[in-house]
Amino acid sequence: MPASRHETDVVIVGAGPVGLFAVFELGMLGLRARLVDSLAGVGGQCQALYPEKPIYDIPGYPKIMAGELVQRLEQQAAPFQPGYHLDQRVETLAPQDDGRWRVGTSAGAEIDCGAVMVAAGVGAFGPNRPPLEGLLDYEGQGPGVGVHYMVGRREDFRDKRLVIAGGGDSALDWTLSLAELARKIYVVHRRDKFRAAPESVQRMRELAADRDGPVELVVPYQLHALAGSGGQLEGVDVATLDGDVRRLEADALLPFFGLSMNLGPIAEWGLNLDRSTVVVDPATCESSTPGIYAVGDIASYPGKLKLILSGFSETALAAHAIYKRLHPDQPLHWEYSTSKGVPGFAE
């Protein structure tokens, strides 16, 4: 089969926490999965928006950082060897004569599958890009350099000169985190008030007050232009509302202006929708179209609670329903994980 064509049991649309846990639930039933996500990394909102934020309602963890939760879910899915199609989204969904589905992605991949599980949260994510000339030339230039909208590995930014733009939680979370590694961090914001958690704002100001420290607060300024050649970023020009321009020497720009969200092609699949969510049977999480399931925040049914733990439970319901769909003549002899064990883990 060509590299751009794949075959699996289930395509999971969305590689956030619920999508990652779905790999585990499917895997425990012997079902293979491939995940498609519009972001360049796994983790969805938890990783893209607030990786350094604590979550308090995960069973067994009185407190766990969002980024750590994503890492643990990725490890939990790993024994089942899921396929990842990142930085792309599902563009086409076509039923096949044998009852299966053909999924096409924006990167040209084609995936033949028996069922589709939509775990896309509130839809596809994409970065809100600042309106800077030549911006695309500096994207994807390599670890720690150029323009990045997410931080996949903190270590990539060690000893780098960084411009972090934005005034929300993501901007300040990454300022505080990368201050331990970076040579210099310029925090650029259009005003001297921030929308982040007060504790984060206080810690950032304390770092900026240290003249020998790596953090410098650049306010009130906005991004104005990029400086460099051959796709290699050398500096970022920032400007005040009065037109005063200052150049910040930098290896990388990290603009955190939020993510745009929409259902994208999902809205055109003919599913029964309710306010941009997919209406499902709460017993199976199957949508109005047989073979397509929805779990997590995008799923809707009476009494629905938009909690991560609800999404985790829904993946188990959907996985069992999918098994019955794909293997109607094979009874499912269900065993608890404590009895069955997990591939790759000691009994």
Per-residue pLDDT tens digits for 18-58: 999 999 999 999 999 999 998 888 988 787 766 777 888 99
- Residue 306 forms part of a structural domain: yes
Report the pLDDT value the prediction gives residue 1, as an integer from 0 to 100.
45
Residues 251 and 290 occupy one common structural domain: no
In the block, which residue shows the tokens 């310029």? 186
Please confirm whether the linkage preceding 220 is cis (ω < 30° from 0).
yes
| CA diameter of the chain | 73
Report the pLDDT value the prediction gives residue 125, as an integer from 0 to 100.
58
Domain residues for 163? 129-257
- Residue 346 forms part of a structural domain: no
Report the pLDDT value the prediction gives residue 226, as an integer from 0 to 100.
97
What tokens does 157 get?
A: 């930014």
Q: Total structural domains in the chain?
A: 2
Report the pLDDT value the prediction gives residue 2, as an integer from 0 to 100.
47
The parts of the chain modelled with pLDDT lower than 70 are: 1-3, 49-50, 122-126, 259-263, 345-347
What tokens does 175 get?
A: 């300022």
Residues 161 and 121 occupy one common structural domain: no
| CA 224 to each of CA 126, 133, 315: distance values in angstroms, whole numbers, following the listed order | 22, 9, 45
Distance CA 22, CA 16 (A): 10
- Residue 198 forms part of a structural domain: yes
- Residue 212 forms part of a structural domain: yes
| CA 289 to each of CA 58, 89, 239, 272: distance values in angstroms, whole numbers, following the listed order | 31, 20, 52, 8
Find the CATH number of the domain harbouring 239: 3.50.50.60
- Name the domain boundary from 222, 257, 292: 257
- Name the domain boundary from 202, 225, 257: 257
Residues 121 and 151 occupy one common structural domain: no
- Residue 322 forms part of a structural domain: yes
3-state secondary structure of 169: helix
Distance in Å from the first CA to the final CA of the chain: 36
- Residue 237 forms part of a structural domain: yes
Residues 152 and 207 occupy one common structural domain: yes
Instruction: Pick the closest to residue 77 from 22, 116, 143 (CA basis).
Output: 22
- Residue 345 forms part of a structural domain: no
Pair type for strands 146-147 and 124-127 = unpaired
Residues 327 and 234 occupy one common structural domain: no
Distance CA 41, CA 170 (A): 16
- Name the domain boundary from 228, 257, 286: 257
